[in-house]
Amino acid sequence: MPTVLYERDGRIARITLNRPEVMNAIDDDMPRDLADAVARADADPQVHVMILSGAGKAFCAGYDLAHYAADPDNKITQDMPWDPMQDYQFMWANTQAFMSLFRAMKPVICKIHGFAVAGGSDIALCCDLVVMADDAQIGYMPARVWGCPTTAMWVYRLGPEKAKRMMFTGDRITGVEAAEMGLVLKSVPADKLGAEVEALATRMASVPINQLAMHKMVINQTMEATLTQTQRLATVFDGITRHSPEGLNFKARSESVGWKQAVEERDQGTFDWTRNRQIPGNSE
């Protein structure tokens, strides 16, 4: 099965993340397949607007930790001493694949239901406009351990203080709170999400492609002066988080108890990753 589906509906290109059995978790293929779909839409003279969504119960649950964290043979965490440039090459390629959404000539609307978390939030926040269901959740929980958002879009969308609030806690927030913070364009009841996105896409699709492209380029230019440098630093730091003492302990914990328990301990703050033990007062 392809990890990303593509279809054109009149002036709208529909791009769908397609690993629903794992809530569209990111594997080795999805970033490249996503970039290919974006390029296809951008090259089609009939397409004015893209809609990015996820199949099944969620938009995207982030990187597939069953593969990247719990599998002892996966080399996203290397044996020590590690080669930071090998890690950087892999993650930078993924970051640029996600950024195809930002750099495409044509605008992209992201439709979020369920979850857009961890690496899934990286994908969503590279889009031009994001519409969430009220009960959907977005966040970057690996900020607590084992991750740094490589696209760095949190600060560009929220500003320094609110971005720090999200990165210092690793919290997930609902669509309602995300809209109130200014992280996304708007939040609507789940049963109205499809209609809301369709209405917005249809309205935008009535504008000539060249007009859409010029406005997107002008607005994006205000971010591009610092964006590449920030993303390079974030991508290097992302590799460091996975090879720090705490990152290696998280990987080992995922292998020994399973990634679901390790993630729960990370998100709930019940495990001391520096000392590699439960925080006193918390039991197994």
Q: What is the tally of structural domains in the chain?
A: 1
Taking only the tens of pLDDT, the chain with its 284 residues reads: 899 999 999 999 999 999 999 999 999 999 999 999 999 999 999 999 999 999 999 999 999 988 887 777 776 788 888 899 999 999 999 999 999 999 999 999 999 999 999 999 999 999 999 999 999 999 999 999 999 999 999 999 999 999 999 999 999 999 999 999 999 999 999 999 999 999 999 999 999 999 999 999 999 999 998 999 999 999 999 999 999 999 999 999 999 999 999 999 999 999 999 999 999 986 54
140 three-class SS: coil
pLDDT in tens, 140-177: 999 999 999 999 999 999 999 999 999 999 999 999 99
DSSP code of 82?
Answer: P
- Domain span at 135: 4-243
Q: What is the pLDDT of residue 66?
A: 86
187 three-class SS: strand
Inside any domain, residue 61: yes
Inside any domain, residue 76: yes
175 three-class SS: helix
Q: Is the peptide bond before 45 cis (omega within 30 degrees of 0)?
A: no
Q: What is the pLDDT of residue 80?
A: 84
- Tell me, what amino acid is at 184? V
- Output the six-digit token pair for 176: 């309602």
Q: What is the pLDDT of residue 75?
A: 64
262 three-class SS: helix
Q: What is the C-alpha to C-alpha distance for residues 121 and 140, in angstroms, rounded to an integer?
A: 7
Q: What is the pLDDT of residue 283?
A: 56
pTM given for the model: 0.95
End-to-end CA distance of the chain: 38
Inside any domain, residue 248: no
Inside any domain, residue 86: yes
- Work out the angle at residue 50's Cα, subtended by the Cα atoms of residues 35 and 58, and round it to the nearest 5 degrees: 75
Strands 129-133 and 108-112: parallel
Inside any domain, residue 273: no
* CATH code where residue 128 lies: 3.90.226.10
Q: At what angle do helices 245-257 and 259-268 cross, to 10 degrees?
A: 130
Inside any domain, residue 276: no
Inside any domain, residue 252: no
Q: Measuring CA to CA, how many Å separate 24 from each of 8, 61, 70, 122, 250? A: 21, 6, 18, 13, 23
- Output the six-digit token pair for 168: 């210092």
Inside any domain, residue 150: yes
162 and 181 in contact (C-beta within 8 Å)?
Answer: yes
- Percentage, residues of the chain above pLDDT 70: 99
Beta bridge partners of 174: 137
Q: Which long-range contacts (CB under 8 A, 24 or more apart) does 12-15 make?
A: 12/47, 12/48, 12/49, 12/50, 12/51, 12/201, 12/202, 12/205, 13/37, 13/40, 13/41, 13/44, 13/47, 13/49, 13/50, 13/51, 14/50, 14/51, 14/53, 15/41, 15/50, 15/51, 15/52, 15/53
